[in-house]
Amino acid sequence: MPRSTVVASLLLASVAALAACTKHPDVARLNAPETAGYTPASGPQFEVSASTADAAPPMAPGGGEASVSGDIAERERSRGLGTAYGEQRSSSVRGTRFERADPYNPDLVLSLRYNDAAGVQQIAQHKTGSPHLFPAIQQSDAVSVTLRDEYGAPLSAAQVGGDVYAIGEIGARYTIGVENHTAQRLEVVASVDGLDVLDGGEADFHKRGYVIAPYTSFAIDGWRTSDDTVAAFRFSDTDGGYAAQMGKPRNIGVIGVAFFREAGHDDLFRRDTADPFPNRYAPPPPSYRGY
């Protein structure tokens, strides 16, 4: 069997195994989010007292039931995955206030790319060869971002060069899990396929986002449609994706999350990110002169 066929088979088998695991009753579900919130482009911020609806069966972009396995020949003709504007789900928010320490520049940006198994295999072969599979997580000491399936389990992913590629399937629902490991509130501005998850417009650091409390986590379930509902994130083909349908397909296949710290909490942030070994070598004192 050619190596390329082996790699593709391993990736497809891993996705099938992950789907089987997520249907097992012992798989832990992601907890309901703690208080979190969002702000529109202008006006006061909002906190989320989110009550996510029970998981619905996978839906095709057109609204009918979708097969998890799908048609292999159709997938081979596909140009990869996008994210569709899915069914309505419950997710409530309420107002809060948050002043950024820096209004326009985030303190940290984490990103994850995604595609189907065949697409990830192709990009991996082009860049690095056989990929290594692991959970779809990007993290720092302060925060983490995880792509999760509708049962709360992390999607499988592959490291391709400097990028993490999550592996999805057409029709499957996913969420963006965000965790705050710091002692202060953070504002979270998220984008999917280059579009802001709150207003559906082009993503921009100037826009406002969700507010996550210290040492808590929450899930971004979809494109926000009101104070009480979202349109679920569901993998689709690229033409069926929300970005393509809105005439903005340039950035399909990438998810970004920017984090902003709150004004007046510089000391807390500094303590949370303190490095016990900040320098490998001893610098000369200010008065040092070479002889």
> How confident is the prediction for the chain on average, in pLDDT?
75
**Residue 146 pLDDT:** 97
**What backbone torsions phi and psi does residue 76 show, to the nearest 5 degrees?**
-65, -30
What percent of the chain lies above the pLDDT cut of 70? 65
Q: Are the C-beta atoms of 186 and 262 separated by less than 8 Å?
A: yes
pLDDT score, position 290: 55
Of 2-16, 112-126, 128-142, 160-174, give the lowest mean pLDDT range.
2-16
Lowest mean pLDDT across 9-23, 103-117, 244-258: 9-23
Query: Which one-letter DSSP state was computed for residue 278?
Result: -
Looking at residue 276, its pLDDT comes to: 76
Question: What pLDDT sits at residue 24?
Answer: 30
* Least confident piece of the model among 67-81, 121-135, 176-190: 67-81
124: enclosing H helix or E strand: helix 117-127
Reported as a pLDDT band with limits 50, 70 and 90, residue 267 is low
Q: With a cut of 80, say whether residue 245 has pLDDT above it.
A: yes
Contact criterion met (CB below 8 Å) for 119 and 125:
no
Given a cut of 90, whether residue 218 has pLDDT beyond it is: yes
Check pLDDT > 60 for residue 72: no
User: Residue 161 to residues 36, 38, 80, 126, 164: CA-CA distances in angstroms?
Assistant: 33, 33, 19, 10, 8
Lowest mean pLDDT, pick from 88-97, 168-177, 250-259: 88-97
pLDDT in tens, 148-199: 999 999 999 998 888 999 999 999 999 999 999 999 999 999 999 999 999 9
Q: How confident is the model at residue 125 (pLDDT cuts 50, 70, 90)?
A: confident
How many other CB atoms are found less than 10 A from the CB of residue 22? 18
Task: Classify residue 226 as exposed, middle or buried by CB count within 10 Å of its CB (0-12, 13-18, 19+).
Answer: exposed
| Tens digit of each residue's pLDDT (9 = 90 or more) over 22-51 | 333 222 223 333 333 333 333 334 444 333
Task: Domain ranges for the chain, please list them.
Answer: 3-272
Residue 10: how many other CB atoms lie within 10 Å: 15
Where residue 77 falls among pLDDT bands split at 50, 70, 90?
very low
Contact 66, 170 (CB under 8 A): yes
Rg (CA), the chain: 21
Question: Strand (E) positions, 91-228?
Answer: 93-96, 108-115, 133-135, 137-139, 143-149, 156-160, 163-167, 173-180, 186-192, 195-196, 210-212, 217-220, 222-224
Give CA–CA dist 151/133, Å, rounded: 20
**Is the distance from CB of 212 to CB of 185 less than 8 angstroms?**
yes
Above 70 in pLDDT, residue 14?
no
